[in-house]
Chain A
Amino acid sequence: GAVVSQHPSWVICKSGTSVKIECRSLDFQATTMFWYRQFPKQSLMLMATSNEGSKATYEQGVEKDKFLINHASLTLSTLTVTSAHPEDSSFYICSARTGYGYTFGSGTRLTVV
């Protein structure tokens, strides 16, 4: 079946640094990917929709300059958390539309110290 590979699975970074999270569709082309964030004991919240070759569409309240999304190819979308702060610590997860539905990556646990 369709697989989305997400890396890294976890990352610890210092406050003020930037972190890049990658999502790759391994056996299909993903023209659209979705980026979610999940705080502890809360639901997945859609952050943005990533479209290959065009600008991402951000949900209300999500800072596009802080969460940079790049979808340069049909198999790769990246989310860069710029100038990370402790309040950005969260679980970030991507999903992609496949021919069968939607497949999620395994998620990235970001801890900013």
Chain B
Amino acid sequence: DQQVKQNSPSLSVQEGRISILNCDYTNSMFDYFLWYKKYPAEGPTFLISISSIKDKNEDGRFTVFLNKSAKHLSLHIVPSQPGDSAVYFCAASRGREAGKSTFGDGTTLTVKP
């Protein structure tokens, strides 16, 4: 049973437009959520996080939205840039021990110039 799901394996957007990456989870005990970006041959890099007490967290071009009732979160990147092209992983954990996160399968984002 996969507890964190990213149903879109890939997403392609035009430079300057908004990228929306989605993530669903099934375990209601998860209360801390993270997004990571990963380039080929590199480890994931932390992007942004949100705790379950919030429904939105913003950091520059990146905004994460959390809908607890729907067990859904999304990452918005606006405006998208070619350098944003990477694999994006959604992760969830119980408490703040994000080191023991459960990861989704990732979504490959391609931003076209």
Binding site for B on A (CB under 8 A): 4, 6, 9, 32, 34, 36, 41-46, 49, 93, 95-97, 101-107
Whether A102 lies near B98 (C-beta < 8 A) is yes
Chain B residue total in the interface (Cβ 8 A):
22
**With a CB–CB cut-off of 8 A, which chain A residues contact B98?**
101-102
Whether A106 lies near B89 (C-beta < 8 A) is no
Whether A93 lies near B41 (C-beta < 8 A) is no
A104: shortest Cβ distance to chain B, in Å? 3
Whether B105 lies near A41 (C-beta < 8 A) is yes
Whether A106 lies near B105 (C-beta < 8 A) is no
16 examples of A-B residue contacts, CB within 8 angstroms: A6-B43, A43-B4, A43-B102, A44-B103, A46-B101, A95-B99, A96-B99, A101-B46, A101-B98, A102-B98, A104-B44, A105-B43, A106-B41, A107-B41, A107-B42, A107-B43
Binding site for A on B (CB under 8 A): 2, 4, 9, 36, 41-46, 49, 89, 91, 98-106
- Partner pick for A49 among B36, B41, B43, B99, CB 8 A cutoff: B99
Chain B interface mostly: mixed
**With a CB–CB cut-off of 8 A, which chain B residues contact A46?**
100-102
Question: In the complex the two chains form, what is the Cα distance from A82 to B40 in whole Å?
Answer: 27
Question: In the complex the two chains form, what is the Cα distance from A95 to B91 in whole Å?
Answer: 14
- Partner pick for B43 among A32, A45, A95, CB 8 A cutoff: A95
B106's nearest neighbour on chain A, judged by CB, is A43
A7: shortest Cβ distance to chain B, in Å? 13
Question: In the complex the two chains form, what is the Cα distance from A45 to B101 in whole Å?
Answer: 9
Give the 6 A-B residue pairs with the shortest CB-CB distance, closest first. Answer: A104-B43, A43-B103, A44-B103, A34-B99, A43-B105, A106-B43
- Partner pick for A97 among B42, B44, B99, CB 8 A cutoff: B99
B97: shortest Cβ distance to chain A, in Å? 8
A100: shortest Cβ distance to chain B, in Å? 8
Question: In the complex the two chains form, what is the Cα distance from A77 to B39 in whole Å?
Answer: 24
Question: In the complex the two chains form, what is the Cα distance from A95 to B45 in whole Å?
Answer: 10
